[in-house]
Amino acid sequence: MEFELLEHPADIGFRARGRDLAELFANSAKALVWIMLDPEHIEPKQPIQFSARAGDYESLLVSFLNEVLYLVDSRRLALATFEIIWLSETHVDCIAKGEPRDIKKHPPKLVVKAVTYHQLKIVQSGEEWIAEVYVDV
């Protein structure tokens, strides 16, 4: 499984997994979109390139996911796929593919206000990377 939801009294979180950090970032973005809207009928028609910067991997993941949130919430895009084309400890470049949001085709689930640093962690466990992320709803 690419991600699972985590219980929290006031927020909602997810645990994402990846074989490497790039896949972990991509699966974290998928988890965020899944929390926000029904992804079943999103078609990866239009490429959208974006990037994020921060001081370390944890902060970079938060910055990256807040960019995804901006694209989904403010730019009204439904994103289906995420390809990490560059990743360092301080910079990530991504090409997402999706389409304009349509309330009938992509019904909303939860309104996410922000990706938080609350209980944020990225760890390597054996041959996989795991991230735990909570979002403010």
Q: What's the pLDDT tens digit per position in 75-125?
A: 999 999 999 999 999 999 999 999 999 999 999 999 999 999 999 999 999
Let me know: does 20 contact 28? Beta carbons within 8 Å.
Answer: no
pTM for the model: 0.92
Place of tokens 């991600």: 3
Torsion angles phi and psi, residue 92, rounded to 5 = -135, 135
Residue type, 17: R
Tell me the CB-side half-sphere exposure of residue 103, using CA atoms within 13 A: 0
Q: Is the predicted pLDDT of residue 3 greater than 90, yes or no?
A: no
- DSSP-derived pairing of the beta strands 128-136 and 12-18: antiparallel
Domain boundaries, the chain: 3-136
pLDDT at 11: 80
pLDDT at 128: 97
- Residue 72 has which token pair? 């989904």
Which CATH number is 3-136 given?
3.55.10.10
96 exposure class (CB count in 10 Å sphere: 0-12, 13-18, 19+) = buried
Q: Is the predicted pLDDT of residue 1 greater than 70, yes or no?
A: no
